[in-house]
Amino acid sequence: MTKINPFKPNSPVPTAMFAGRINEVVALEKGLYQTKLGQPATILMTGDRGIGKSSLLLFLKAVAVGNIKSPEYENFDFLSIHIPVSDKLDIGTLLKLIERNISREIGKVESIRSFVANTWSFIQRIKVMDSGVSAAEVDSEVELQLDQFSYSLAETCKRIVKPERGENKKDGILFLFDECDNATPLLRIGYFFKTVTEALQRQGCDNVMFVVAGLPDTPEKLSISHESSVRIFTPLKITELSLADRIYVIDKGLEAGNKLNVEQTTISDAAKDQIAALSEGYPHFIQQFAYSAFDHNTDGEISLEDVFDSAFKLGGAIDAIGNSYYASAFNEKIKSDEYRQVLSIMAEKMNSWITKAQIRQSFTGDDSTLTNALQALTTRKIILKNPSKIGEYRLQQRGFALWIRLFGKRNRDKK
């Protein structure tokens, strides 16, 4: 009988399987509490691919709407609005999306329906700016739109925090903006946050919390449209899971699996430790190694051998990790084996800085090839050049470095 595999390498983790991140959860819950009391929190969550940003946002959402009780506080009851940012999103569409979410969430209540419709009616008049409009005209139109938007948001928030006609009282509004590294200049995302948070404050609306998440280059995306917008945020960096948390992720996953399946599965301590070590704390890697080992296992106990075989085999965990995140950067953007060799050498230091001289020691090609490789990899944004130290480079992401190391090991083991 095929068992249902509980591990989730390709989607944010369901709240029941969410593990660890105690400090981050405490910080976010504190933000909710303060926002409820009128000291609104504005948080910028950054971290590598697959480190667990979206999962943490989903967990926060569950706490905010009262589906999960925080051990510290009474149940929260926020209105929560989740916006995944894509590279197609412009500011007009963003405002419409928010309006639609608000109408959907609170427009259901009869007594508030006409209030919502009236307060947000300006949305129907948002113009599509065609190419004939001058930049100055676009700017002033956006300014007017944001002014109306902030007013409508403030009125809506005040109404649900202090309801007038027997509606349920809410704690405030929580905005979750995910994947903000996708933002293009058309979204004016930094300008949006700066303008809206200031306008809300002016209008005495103190119960709106913004959480903005994305890859580590998100701050740069914010500063394109407003240089100082990053300063309004409290930074929250998401890093690798501790060893204990990695084990907890595996235990929680298996526990969920054993609820779903009649046939039970266990795992040896050595197998767990190996998954924890291979993953280096990347939850995405833990889920994938555990998924593949669960899949590979036939006798009900996941052993060290199951972990190794399923990780390194063709089509195994490492291939899957590469296919979902890194293979295109490694194989398609880079056509030369020598360039790939440079990346492998750099990956030995994960994503720490390494000098050209250090790379040269292990590189088998000639000097001009190395120079060209470093230049091409920098231009393609696969590696970063140290702006304050000449001749130093590093890989952009630890996850990518880890994958190159494991992938290289797989290829060596195959030979």
Q: Which residues bind Mg ion (CB under 5 A)?
A: 53-54
Can you give the three-state secondary structure of the chain, one letter per residue? CCCCCCCCCCCCCCHHHCCCCHHHHHHHHHHHHHHHCCCCCEEEEECCCCCCHHHHHHHHHHHHCCCCCCCCCCCCCEEEEEEECCCCCCHHHHHHHHHHHHHHHHCCCHHHHHHHHHHCHHHHHCCCCCCCCCHHHHHHHHHHHHHHHHHHHHHHHHHHHCCCCCCCCCCEEEEEEECHHHCCHHHCHHHHHHHHHHHHHHCCCCCEEEEEEECCCHHHHHHHHCHHHHHHCEEEECCCCCHHHHHHHHHHHHHHHHHHCCCCCEECHHHHHHHHHHHCCCHHHHHHHHHHHHHHCCCCEECHHHHHHHHHCCCCHHHHHHHHHHHHHHHHCCCCHHHHHHHHHHHCCCCCCEEHHHHHHHCCCCHHHHHHHHHHHHHCCCEEECCCCCCEEEECCHHHHHHHHHHHHHHHHHC
In the complex, the smallest distance separating the C-beta of residue 24 from Mg ion, rounded to whole angstroms, is 14
In the complex, the smallest distance separating the C-beta of residue 390 from Mg ion, rounded to whole angstroms, is 35
How far apart are the C-alpha atoms of 158 and 175, rounded to whole Å? 16
In the complex, the smallest distance separating the C-beta of residue 8 from Mg ion, rounded to whole angstroms, is 13
| 167-186 positions binding ligand ATP, by CB under 6 A | 179
Question: Do 211 and 57 form a contact (C-beta atoms < 8 A)?
Answer: yes
Contact stretch for ligand ATP (CB under 6 A) within 7-15, 78-86, 157-165, 267-275: 7-15
With CB cut-offs between 5 and 8 Å by kind, which of Mg ion, ligand ATP, none does residue 19 bind? ligand ATP
Q: Is 310 in the site for ligand ATP (CB under 6 A)?
A: no
Contact stretch for ligand ATP (CB under 6 A) within 6-14, 34-42, 108-116, 390-398: 6-14
How far apart are the C-alpha atoms of 205 and 152, rounded to whole Å? 11
Which of residues 6, 31, 40, 47 is near ligand ATP by CB under 6 A? 47
In the complex, the smallest distance separating the C-beta of residue 53 from Mg ion, rounded to whole angstroms, is 5
Residue appearing with tokens 């983790």: 13
Q: How far is CA 320 from CA 55, 307, 403, 404, in A?
A: 20, 14, 10, 13
Q: Is 18 in the site for ligand ATP (CB under 6 A)?
A: yes
With CB cut-offs between 5 and 8 Å by kind, which of ligand ATP, Mg ion, none does residue 49 bind? ligand ATP
Minimal CB distance residue for Mg ion: 54
Residue appearing with tokens 């992938």: 407
Q: Is 275 in the site for ligand ATP (CB under 6 A)?
A: no
Minimal CB distance residue for ligand ATP: 52
Nearer to ligand ATP, 70 or 287 (CB): 287
In the complex, the smallest distance separating the C-beta of residue 286 from Mg ion, rounded to whole angstroms, is 16
Contact stretch for ligand ATP (CB under 6 A) within 9-17, 77-85, 255-263, 303-311: 9-17
The interface mask with ligand ATP, positions 245-274, x = CB under 6 A, is ----x-------------------------
Q: Is 194 in the site for ligand ATP (CB under 6 A)?
A: no
Q: Is 12 in the site for ligand ATP (CB under 6 A)?
A: yes
Nearer to ligand ATP, 21 or 296 (CB): 21
Q: How far is CA 302 from CA 216, 284, 299, in A?
A: 35, 19, 8
Which of residues 190, 283, 316, 322 is near ligand ATP by CB under 6 A? 283
Nearer to Mg ion, 35 or 54 (CB): 54
Nearer to ligand ATP, 48 or 171 (CB): 48
In the complex, the smallest distance separating the C-beta of residue 251 from ligand ATP, rounded to whole angstroms, is 11
In the complex, the smallest distance separating the C-beta of residue 57 from Mg ion, rounded to whole angstroms, is 8
With CB cut-offs between 5 and 8 Å by kind, which of Mg ion, ligand ATP, none does residue 246 bind? none
Q: Is 46 in the site for ligand ATP (CB under 6 A)?
A: no
Which of residues 6, 43, 44, 54 is near ligand ATP by CB under 6 A? 54
Question: Do 219 and 44 form a contact (C-beta atoms < 8 A)?
Answer: yes
Nearer to ligand ATP, 54 or 195 (CB): 54
Q: Give the residues lining the site for ligand ATP (CB under 6 A).
A: 8-9, 12-13, 17-21, 47, 49-55, 179, 215, 249, 283-284, 287
